[in-house]
């Protein structure tokens, strides 16, 4: 047999073996380029890319020493994290778009990709354009790993449990395959197991806290530096990979089952919860006995006959014995639940459009699962429906996103809200605080206690008088007069006439006929409190009535006696949960070179102290357009401190605070009327006639200001030691209505060129809004009046020479189709948004220092936001403003040349 024939035979054998993941540790084929790395090599041109070629060493299955892992942060077409585990002489690899999380409730998607060579573990750098994966790669974490159980068997079965010993990651982790083994890129989930290292996302986000390369900024093993370090609990594949069924009890199928009910919550809860959509439908529990299904409402009413087609769809699952819990809905053309359509579908031929979303399995077979933790019941349910779910019976999804952001998205697309369920809690009948409901608007059921006739249509309802029970007493809750059609109004009128009584069941003095709707004829009529309706409304008035109410439908699945006022409950965090952003605990210290990429920051300080702040209302959404929360803003400023502080230190600052978010009222704070820990109060003599100014001189002050709802940081052009002598002049390119971004870019180049003619170097940054800032550093020699006069003369010259592009007068009417170069910011006491400051407007753009070479590639003045700015800086190889801090320019020559033009 020839050498070529032998190689071909080996390659064919290896290629066949790679169809199953188990081949990685099974029979290994010796040679320089065996099949496991053929896909890797085929995708790359090693004469162009600096990536190492895929060569697998002989006897790789018997590698000595600890197994390596590496996580490479890869900014290609999209940012993702390449998660690689050494096994069988290669690095088995997954692409994790959102990166790992220490929160066991967070399940990250992981796409199984081609194996990589072990030599790839040291690769950092740029993959050239045109090559596979073109973009920047850094080593985000590295270390060793230990499999729990047989790793080959775990990979083959799609459940791999392992311990990590890295610079950022530690403890017990799991990879679970959710796709089929034969898929081209089978999807998996990466999740943290519950152990001493587990931490709720609200407390610690390792991706945000530690975004940079461990090569540029070595951290050392986390187990050696973290005071929380504790031995990882010994686990086996059998007791960690599978659902925890220790609390399951052998029991016969119950005849009845009271459902678990959720508590209305005022805000998203702490971490440790699973999030689901809140469906706008009817709660239905399905009892399956010997393959036959019965459907019950939350009140125990048998609706099998009403929902015969749904029952048939449940029976088609092929389950012999179970209780399933879920919600029936009808989806509209936007794939959003439609409550009115559901009501119309029940009891008629339209029931074929009803979908049953299943979210729990309290009982299965001969096992009572109610005492089993919810996340384990979810695993059982997912396995049960994996190959059985249909268009009519679907598994309700859980979402890998912060509850606040999920709630914002749900509201935006028209859903009712979000459900949060405690991952470690049992199934408990009745209302609990381990299931929470977060609603997009106030919405609940009311008892109808009266009605009026519609004006000019006595056979229709004009409005409905509402009530609810309070400790056995029926209380008035206002009225609703809109939200139903004429046919629905006639139908309700017929039903309510049959319930009519002469004596009101609530205090009649609270009801003022005709005040809620022009549809009302004003004659109040009273009824027995038996009909239940669902109503959406803006808020409760001080006297206990609903305001701006809209009828949503009649609820025939709930008894009137159960209707009470639902007030949002503030749910206390679980003991292990905290909303403290703490750099000491989470290794995000801003201590000079130990800080990630500290040496690369714009004049990054070598000093500074660890940042720690308790974030109040961390879940509050501060930008509805993105769903960004307050804690995310605080984390941004914590992570950006070493870059931003040189632009803030010793400069008087004006803070733009937004207690109600960017859509609410904003206000400036220049003085110390609201005490903020860590803030420096400057000598009051610096600005006679004014209170003491403030300066942000530490990371602690920066983060505390964010905790006090500060979004923007605006600074003077001078420092406190020479308060009247500015050390920079700023030209703010402010485009008027109708100005294209290309013209803004052109204006920046023209401004730079003219300044260079005057002998001045200028630096560039985005404004975070619509425009750009051209910044000229100065030696502090001239006072404000002279510097402002110079900047005004530059702007007037530009407007005179190129009047089609520039205007020298402020005001929107003056700059339509033109750019006003704002020189007014160079006056005494005037301020400009600092570099790296967020902007209090939708999107939360960031003012970012950039190089002039980057200008043609910029897409807008808000190209970076607090969600993307820190990641962008992670991949910056050099500081575009490095020479800014060394410049000592004066205006003497520039003023002389300008006067001569």
Question: Would you name the residues annotated as active-site residues?
Answer: 278
The position carrying tokens 């390792």 is 206
Cβ contact 398:342 at 8 Å: no
Give the span between the Cα atoms of 365 and 633, in whole angstroms.
48
Which contacts of 813-818 are long-range, i.e. CB under 8 A and separated by 24 or more positions?
814/736, 815/734, 815/735, 815/736, 815/737, 815/739, 816/736, 816/737, 816/738, 817/736, 817/737, 817/738, 817/739, 818/736, 818/739
Give the span between the Cα atoms of 900 and 666, in whole angstroms.
44
Cβ contact 465:495 at 8 Å: no
Cβ contact 83:100 at 8 Å: yes
Say whether 510 sits in a helix, a strand or coil: helix
**Which of the 8 DSSP states describes residue 407?**
H
Give the span between the Cα atoms of 844 and 859, in whole angstroms.
16
Query: For residue 210, which of 475, 720, 594, 501 has the smallest C-alpha distance?
Result: 594
Sign of the alpha-carbon dihedral angle for 220, 225, 226, 232 = positive
First-residue to last-residue Cα distance in the chain: 87
The position carrying tokens 């002469």 is 502
- List helix spans (H) across 226-323: 237-240, 308-315
Give the span between the Cα atoms of 168 and 587, in whole angstroms.
9
Give the span between the Cα atoms of 797 and 750, in whole angstroms.
12
547: β partners: 539
User: CB neighbours (10 Å) of residue 203?
Assistant: 23
Give the span between the Cα atoms of 514 and 522, in whole angstroms.
4
Say whether 541 sits in a helix, a strand or coil: coil
**Which of the 8 DSSP states describes residue 751?**
H
Give the span between the Cα atoms of 23 and 155, in whole angstroms.
10
- List helix spans (H) across 302-345: 308-315, 339-345
Which contacts of 497-502 are long-range, i.e. CB under 8 A and separated by 24 or more positions?
499/527, 499/528, 499/530, 499/531, 500/525, 500/526, 500/527, 501/526, 501/527, 501/528, 502/526
Cβ contact 727:651 at 8 Å: no
- List helix spans (H) across 819-881: 869-874
User: CB neighbours (10 Å) of residue 493?
Assistant: 19
Give the span between the Cα atoms of 171 and 149, in whole angstroms.
16
Cβ contact 537:547 at 8 Å: yes
Give the span between the Cα atoms of 142 and 164, in whole angstroms.
9
Give the span between the Cα atoms of 136 and 848, in whole angstroms.
20
- Tokens representing 68? 């390596």
Q: What are phi and psi of 315, to 5 degrees?
A: -65, -30
Query: For residue 355, which of 382, 389, 321 has the smallest C-alpha distance?
Result: 389
Give the span between the Cα atoms of 606 and 591, in whole angstroms.
7
Cβ contact 869:846 at 8 Å: yes
């Amino acid at each position: 047999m020839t050498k070529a024939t032998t190689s071909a035979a080996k390659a064919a054998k290896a290629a066949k073996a790679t169809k199953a993941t188990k081949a990685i540790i099974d029979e290994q084929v010796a040679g320089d380029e065996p099949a496991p790395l053929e896909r890797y090599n085929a995708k790359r041109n090693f004469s162009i890319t600096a990536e190492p070629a895929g060569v697998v060493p002989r006897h790789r299955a018997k590698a000595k020493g600890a197994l390596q892992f590496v996580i490479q942060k890869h900014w290609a077409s999209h940012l993702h994290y390449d998660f690689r585990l050494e096994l069988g002489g290669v690095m088995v690899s997954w692409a994790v778009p959102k990166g790992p999380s220490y929160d066991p409730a967070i399940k990250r998607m992981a796409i199984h990709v081609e194996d990589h060579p072990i030599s790839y573990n040291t690769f950092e750098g740029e993959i050239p354009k045109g090559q596979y994966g073109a973009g920047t790669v850094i080593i985000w974490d590295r270390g060793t790993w230990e499999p729990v159980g047989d790793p080959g068997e775990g990979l083959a079965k799609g459940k791999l449990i392992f311990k990590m010993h890295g610079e950022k990651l530690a403890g017990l982790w799991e990879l679970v395959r959710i796709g089929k083994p034969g898929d081209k890129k089978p999807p998996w989930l990466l999740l943290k197991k519950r152990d001493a290292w587990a931490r709720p996302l609200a407390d610690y986000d390792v991706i945000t806290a530690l975004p940079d390369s461990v090569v540029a900024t070595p951290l050392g093993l986390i187990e050696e530096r973290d005071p929380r370090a504790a031995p990882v609990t010994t686990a086996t594949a059998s007791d960690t990979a599978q659902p925890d069924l220790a609390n399951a009890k052998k029991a016969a199928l119950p005849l009845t089952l009271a459902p678990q009910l959720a508590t209305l919550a005022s805000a998203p809860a702490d971490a440790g919860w699973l999030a689901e959509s809140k469906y706008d439908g009817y709660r239905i529990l399905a009892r399956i006995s010997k393959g036959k299904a019965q459907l019950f409402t939350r009140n125990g009413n048998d609706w099998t006959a009403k929902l015969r087609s749904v029952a048939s769809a449940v029976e088609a699952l092929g389950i012999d014995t179970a209780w399933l819990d879920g919600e029936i809905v009808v989806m509209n053309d936007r794939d959003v639940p439609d409550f009115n359509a559901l009501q119309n579908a029940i009891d008629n031929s339209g029931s074929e459009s009803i979908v049953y979303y299943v979210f729990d399995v309290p009982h299965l077979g001969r096992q009572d699962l109610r005492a089993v933790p919810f996340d384990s019941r979810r695993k059982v349910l997912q396995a049960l429906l994996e190959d059985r779910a249909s268009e009519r019976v679907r598994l309700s999804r859980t979402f890998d996103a912060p509850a606040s952001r999920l709630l914002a998205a749900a509201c935006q697309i028209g859903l009712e809200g979000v459900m949060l369920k405690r991952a470690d809690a049992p199934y408990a009948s009745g209302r609990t605080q381990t299931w929470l409901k977060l609603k997009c608007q106030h919405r609940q059921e009311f008892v109808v206690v009266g009605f009026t006739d519609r004006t000019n249509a006595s056979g229709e309802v004009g409005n409905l008088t509402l009530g609810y029970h309070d400790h056995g007493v029926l209380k008035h809750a206002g009225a609703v007069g809109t939200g139903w059609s004429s046919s629905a109004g006639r139908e309700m009128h017929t039903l309510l006439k049959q319930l009519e009584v002469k004596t009101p069941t609530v205090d009649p003095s609270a009801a003022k006929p005709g005040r809620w709707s022009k549809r009302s004829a004003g004659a109040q009529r009273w009824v027995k409190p038996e009909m239940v309706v669902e109503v959406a409304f803006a808020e409760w008035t001080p006297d206990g009535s609903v305001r701006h109410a809209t009828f949503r439908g009649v609820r025939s699945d709930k008894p009137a006696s159960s209707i009470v006022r639902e007030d949002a409950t503030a749910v206390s965090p679980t003991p292990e949960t905290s909303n403290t952003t703490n750099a000491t605990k989470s290794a995000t210290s801003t201590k000079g070179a130990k800080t990630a990429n500290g040496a690369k920051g714009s004049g990054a300080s070598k000093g500074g102290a660890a940042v720690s702040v308790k974030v109040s209302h961390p879940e509050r959404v501060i930008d509805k357009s993105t769903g960004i929360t307050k804690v995310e803003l605080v984390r941004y400023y914590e992570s950006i401190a070493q870059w931003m502080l040189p632009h803030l230190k010793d400069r008087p600052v004006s803070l733009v605070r937004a207690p109600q978010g960017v859509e609410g009222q904003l206000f400036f704070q220049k003085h110390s009327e609201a005490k903020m820990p860590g803030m420096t109060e400057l000598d009051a003599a610096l600005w006679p006639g004014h209170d003491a100014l403030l300066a942000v001189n530490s990371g602690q002050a920066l983060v505390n200001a964010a905790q006090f709802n500060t979004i923007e940081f605006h600074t003077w052009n001078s420092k406190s030691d020479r308060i009247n002598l500015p050390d920079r002049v700023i030209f703010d390119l402010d485009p008027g209505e109708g100005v294209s971004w290309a013209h803004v870019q052109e204006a920046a180049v023209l401004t730079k060129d003219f300044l260079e003619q005057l002998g001045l170097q200028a630096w560039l940054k985005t404004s975070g809004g619509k425009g750009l800032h051209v910044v000229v550093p100065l030696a502090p020699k001239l006072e404000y009046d002279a510097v402002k006069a110079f900047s005004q003369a530059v702007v007037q010259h530009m407007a005179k020479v190129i009047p089609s592009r520039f205007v020298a007068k402020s005001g929107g009417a003056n700059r339509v189709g033109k750019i006003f170069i704002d020189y007014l910011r160079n006056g005494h006491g005037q301020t400009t948004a600092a570099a790296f400051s967020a902007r209090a407007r939708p999107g939360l753009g960031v003012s970012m220092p950039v190089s002039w070479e980057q200008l043609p590639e910029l897409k807008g003045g808000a190209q970076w936001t607090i969600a993307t700015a820190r990641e962008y800086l992670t991949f910056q190889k050099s500081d575009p403003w490095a020479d800014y801090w060394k410049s000592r320019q004066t205006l003497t020559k520039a003023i002389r040349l300008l006067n001569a033009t």
